Amino acid sequence: MAENNLDPIKQFEVHEVIAFEAFGLDLAFTNASFFMVLTTFLTIVLFTVALTGRAMIPNRSQSVAELAYGFVADMIRSTAGSDGLRFFPLVFSLFIFILVANLLGMFPYFPAPGWHSYTVTSQIIVTAALAMLVWLTVVLYGLFTHGLKFLKIFFPSGIPWPLYFIVTPIEIISFASRPVSHSVRLFANLLAGHILLKVFAGFVVMLAAGLGTAGYLVGVLPFAMTLGLTALEFLVAFLQAYVFAILTCIYLSDALHPGH
């Protein structure tokens, strides 16, 4: 039993909480679903609280809300230009959803089904869905606004024409593989980080269980490591949300200005 509890992979297991079937599919409400809904709920509640009685001179929570707004707006302006701001709600939603989901995953224990937290973004299906959302937005928006001119993204301007035989296939492959790299980057970072945390935290328990008092003393080392990794994971939680959002901006920039 103890070994099973120390399994670093167990934290990623999805469990059914409330059975639910529709369209012949098993759409059960799971612990992962709980954290998705919680992410949305918490984000809306926090922003609503931050914006009640909003004042000319903002209080702390209002400052944070405005800071997040300015941060994402600047990100879009610097990568996709000012006309990229039409995608502001999408980029902001992606950024804040991933950020809050990542941070919720940092709780070791949580008042949730199973009493442990679940990192939604450590599920490949979730990151893949978000990455496909971005990719399809780019393709559809690009084709609808620019028509065939959108294909210019595969023919970068300013190179001698024979090079197109090499560059164009590369561009097509890189464009097609975007959703893969986009989703795997987020998924793998969160997954690896959480496995590492659990492994080092598990060392503490194993040492204490196996060596008794000496184990407690030696256990200080992996405990310190866990502490450091936790800090690192907080950084990763923010950084990966930022990376996902900024890549979204860069990809959207293609849809806005193909041929650049």
- Structural tokens at position 48: 């609503």
Q: Is 189 in the site for another protein (CB under 8 A)?
A: no
Residue of 175, 176, 154 whose CA lies nearest to 165? 154
Q: Counting contacts by CB under 8 A, is residue 260 touching another protein?
A: no
Is 70 in contact with 63 (CB distance < 8 Å)?
A: no
Minimum CB separation of residue 200 from another protein in Å reads: 15
Per DSSP bridges, beta strands 16-18 and 25-26 are unpaired
210 touches another protein by CB under 8 A: no
The helix, strand and coil proportions of the chain, stated in percent and rounded to the nearest 5, come to 75, 5, 20
Under a CB-based contact definition with an 8 Å cutoff, are residues 93 and 244 in contact?
no
Burial string for 149-187 (b: 16+ CB within 10 Å, else e) reads ebebbbeeeeeeeeeeeeeeeeeeeebeebbeebbbbbb
Binding mask 90-129 for another protein (x = CB under 8 A): x-xx--xx-----------x---xxxx---x-xxxxx--x
Question: How many Å apart are CA 17 and CA 73, to the nearest integer?
Answer: 38
The footprint of another protein on residues 29-88 (CB under 8 A) is: 29-30, 32-33, 36-37, 39-40, 43-44, 47-48, 51, 54, 56, 58, 62, 65-66, 69-70, 88
17 versus 151: smaller Cβ distance to another protein: 17
> Quick one: which of 163, 24, 186 has its CA closest to 101?
186
For another protein, the closer CB: 186 or 237: 186
Least CB distance from residue 242 to another protein, whole Å?
A: 17
Which one, 101 or 153, has the nearer CB to another protein? 101
Q: Of the candidates 71, 78, 86, 89, which one interacts with another protein according to CB under 8 A?
A: 89
The window from 23-31, 140-148, 149-157, 229-237 that contacts another protein (CB under 8 A) reads 23-31
Q: Which tokens hold the place of 43?
A: 């984000």
Binding residues for another protein, per CB under 8 A?
Answer: 1-2, 4-6, 9-10, 12-17, 20, 25-30, 32-33, 36-37, 39-40, 43-44, 47-48, 51, 54, 56, 58, 62, 65-66, 69-70, 88-90, 92-93, 96-97, 109, 113-116, 120, 122-126, 129-130, 133, 187, 191, 205, 209
